[in-house]
Structure 1
Amino acid sequence: MIKVQDLDTPTLLLDYKKVIQNISEVSSFANEIGVAVRPHIKTHKSIKIAELQLNAGAVGITVAKIGEAEVMAEGGIKDILVAYPIASPQKINRIIQLLKKGIRVKVAVDQEVQLQLLNDVLQHTSLELEVWIKVNSGLNRCGVEPGPHALKLAEKIMMKKQLKLGGIFTHAGHSYAAKSIEDIHKIGVDEGKAVVDSASECEKAGIPIAVRSVGSTPTYKQAGAVKGITEIRPGNAVFFDAIQVGLGVTTLERCALTLLASVVGVYQDRIVFDTGSKSLCLDKGAHGNETVKGYGLIQGHEEITLERLSEEHGVGVFLQSPKLQVNDVVQIIPNHACTVANMFNEYVVHEDGLVIDHWKVDARGRVK
């Protein structure tokens, strides 16, 4: 077997034991509180990892884009939520093709105009499309306001012959800007209540809501525990990363994804690695996160801060000279695992320092 330290660099590494542990933790939590799991695969974009999640009890998957849904469908996955508003004719026709193949696909809606556009295209078919209302729980991105506004949209859905209301969901992405665990807990509870309150408004009006779904890795345990929630959709929890560590959601030991990099130069005031923005990305958190320092955590070398990246170079600074030389290799925990995974064609899967497999990043680059 090949040892990890003998691989060429930069290489995307995935610790098998850790990823299995992370999948198991989500599944165990869901079983304990009695909710379903529909993990967001935009983190890993891998059919193999999605299959592991389904084998652990997930009822289906969540995707961000139709391109991801198409890849997962080709891989044999039948139950898919596209957690993104769909309105353009091109995209609606792609959804129709998935329905014709027997895929149980659902799409997000948050505006009346989307309903009309979806129904206009679908009325030329005999197909029915399941839609889920996305409510805004504080991120202020997409999403109808919870409560009466969600009910108004639900009533409009009920009037569309070829649309079926299947659920209400939200994503508390603003939890990534939380200043403390206490803040995360509050955001999570509010996230769950935004969905439950919206569902209650609908059911008081005689509109049943079968699925009440929450997401966000930092908050899924708090939001999932809100009475009335039926499903959780964590994505990053399959890997974890430096942002999750900074938020206090997990520990360094639970981070399954790392980037293997080599030292290309050691200088008086800096050290340079062969990984830059084209592999580690420049992400420090999309929603205001300020808990990370630098552009990744170098395992075993806390004295180094990866201060800046160019395209192919990672430049680290240090308070004391590190015990590293040219061609030494290190593993770097990325700030944001989702964006880094999308930069590579495959995961090199390892266990106890030995390479055991290679898994494709099947939906890499599927952003349409």
Structure 2
Amino acid sequence: MNSFHQVDTPSLLLDIGKLKSNINRMSGFAKDHGLKLRPHIKTHKSVKIAKLQLESGAVGITTAKIEEAIVMASEGIKDILIAYPISSPEKIKRVIELLNKGVDLKISVDSLEQIKLLQKELEATPHTLEVWIKVNSGLNRCGVEPGKAALKLAQAVLFLSHLRVGGIFTHAGHSYGAASKEKIEEIALAEASAVVESAEACEKAGIPILVRSVGSTPTYEISGKVEGITEVRPGNAVFFDAIQVGLGVAARADCALTVLSSVVGVYEDRIVLDAGSKTLCLDKGAHGLDSVKGYGYILGYPELKIDRLSEEHGVVVFDEKPTLKLNDKVRIIPNHACTVVNQFDEYTVVEGDRVVDTWKVDARGKRK
């Protein structure tokens, strides 16, 4: 098979040139500003891509769940932050299994009760677990409030023999709903301030904070420039998608990931594609974004809108009927690359029109 036009649909196409350019953009920014780079792999869930990021200068990776960390560690990736609160005994036992295998693991913490549970399970082991305090920078999801609350949690860790504070971090995910570049900048500066304020409070109390980490793709190139920040953790920036284009963070030409879909029906007022909600997902941005229209952008056909999805059908509407006919194929930039990748077993890797490889989505479906 030479051309992606011969690939069955729906399929996930990955442009290797754009992928490497995006990876270099992240690592170049980090190097230029004296920062460490710890990309979030929940976007791509691929060992191959994670290793390309490490080869480009990343110091380690970030995962959302323990199972993602297990997959990456099994392939030799050892420096891992799990940026998710872990407190159940079942999950802590799996954390201990990773520590037993020599993984340099860091865990997100944001409550006194959680750190006590971690300590209890670790007491029967020889391990001291590195924990990073998560602070809330406006997303209002997980995280303690910046400053005094972060200091209080750090002081509590000092009394626990099997934990040590390694860093303070945040995630400004609400930037995905920003209505302007000015709002993105405002969120980015608040993101950095939440981390720096918390780290400085700890250090004034004699608790060193070596890592001060920020992470949202729309904000990291702003918040990463703030004095006191030492690390960035972008995830979506490895691919970009229609949401990032809508935010002005990337151009469509930067989007490395597309869904290849076929026309399965042509009617007077609509065209139907074989990419439905089980392919494109019902995502227009987790935090709302007016600039995202429909359920993906069809390359080469700006007049078309993917208006509605059922499980296996994408219904496309138009003002003027296009020339597309039955079995024609189109490429769709997904609204949210992270969720779409999780629907596929593999990437079809392309260079121009030519298929050059297939890569597994190694950690797809990992929810624990």
TM-score normalised by L of structure 1:
0.99
Q: Find the aligned partners of 1:322 and 1:297 in 2 and give their Cα distance.
A: 15
**AA of the residue aligned to 2:286:** A
Matches of 1:117 and 1:177, distance apart in 2? 35
- C-alpha RMSD over aligned residues: 0.6
The equivalent residue for 2:143 is 143
Does residue 298 (structure 1) correspond to residue 333 (structure 2)? The answer is: no
Per the alignment, residue 107 of structure 1 pairs with 107
Q: Which residue of 2 aligns with 1:216?
A: 216
Matched letter for residue 366 of structure 2? R
Deviations 1:310-367 (A, max 9, x none): 0000000001111100010000000000000000000000001100011100000011
1:37 aligns with 2:37: yes
Matched, 1:280 2:280: yes
* Same amino acid, percent of matched pairs: 64
Shift of 1:186: 1.0
Is 1:128 equivalent to 2:123 in the alignment? no
**Amino acid of the structure 2 residue aligned with 1:163:** L
Matches within 5 A, 1:199-238: 199-238=199-238
The answer for the alignment partner of 1:75 in structure 2 is 75
**CA deviation string 1:71-128 (max 9, x = no partner):** 0001110000000011000000000000000000110000000010000000011111
Q: CA deviation at 1:289?
A: 2.6
Aligned partner letter, 2:113: V
Amino acid at match of 1:295: Y
The one-letter code sitting in structure 1 at the alignment partner of 2:333 is: I
Alpha-carbon separation, structure 2, partners of 1:159 and 1:289: 44
- Where does residue 334 of structure 1 map in the other structure? 334
- Secondary structure at 1:323's aligned position in 2? coil
What code does the residue aligned with 2:59 have?
A: V
Instruction: Please state whether the residue corresponding to 2:278 is helix, strand or coil.
Output: coil
Q: Say yes or no: does 1:193 pair with 2:196.
A: no
Structure 1: stretches of 5+ with no match in the other structure: none
Cα deviation 1:170-197 (Å, max 9, x = unaligned):
0000001100001001111110111001
Deviations 1:41-60 (A, max 9, x none): 00000000000000000000
**How far does residue 290 in structure 1 lie from its aligned partner after superposition?**
2.7
Shift of 1:158: 0.8
Shift of 1:6: 1.1
**Matching residue's letter, 1:133:** I
Q: Which residue of structure 2 aligns with residue 250 of structure 1?
A: 250
Find the residue that maps to 2:359 and give its secondary structure: strand
Comparing 192-201 and 289-298, the one that deviates more: 289-298
Confirm or deny that 1:180 pairs with 2:180. yes
State the 1:291 CA deviation.
2.2
User: Runs of 4 or more off by more than 4 Å in structure 1?
Assistant: none
| Aligned partner letter, 1:104 | D
Deviation at 1:2, TM superposition (A): 1.7
SS in 2 for 1:96: helix
- Listed as ranges, the matches of 1:22-101 within 5 Å are 22-101=22-101
**Partner Cα separation in structure 2 for residue 73 and residue 290 of structure 1:** 39
Task: State the Cα distance separating 1:136 from its structure 2 match.
Answer: 0.1
Give the 3-state SS of the residue equivalent to 1:12 in structure 2.
Answer: strand
Counterpart amino acid of residue 352 in structure 1: G
Cα separation, 2, equivalents of 1:6 and 1:323 = 20
CA displacement, residues 10-45 of structure 1 (integer Å, 9 cap, x when unaligned):
010000000000000001111111100000000000
**Map of 1:311 onto structure 2:** 311
Compute the TM-score of the two structures, normalised by the length of structure 2.
Answer: 0.99
Q: Secondary structure at the match of 2:268?
A: coil
Partners of 1:364 and 1:64 lie apart in 2 by 12
Aligned to 2:367: 367
Distance 2:331 2:75 in 1: 31
**What letter is aligned with 1:28?**
G
Q: Which residue of 2 aligns with 1:265?
A: 265
How far off is 1:275 after superposition?
Answer: 0.7
Distance in 2 (alpha carbons) for counterparts of 1:22 and 1:252: 12
Q: 1:288 Cα deviation (Å)?
A: 2.3
Per the alignment, residue 155 of structure 1 pairs with 155
Q: Which residue of structure 1 lines up, in the alignment, with residue 322 of structure 2? A: 322
* Cα separation, 2, equivalents of 1:158 and 1:238: 37
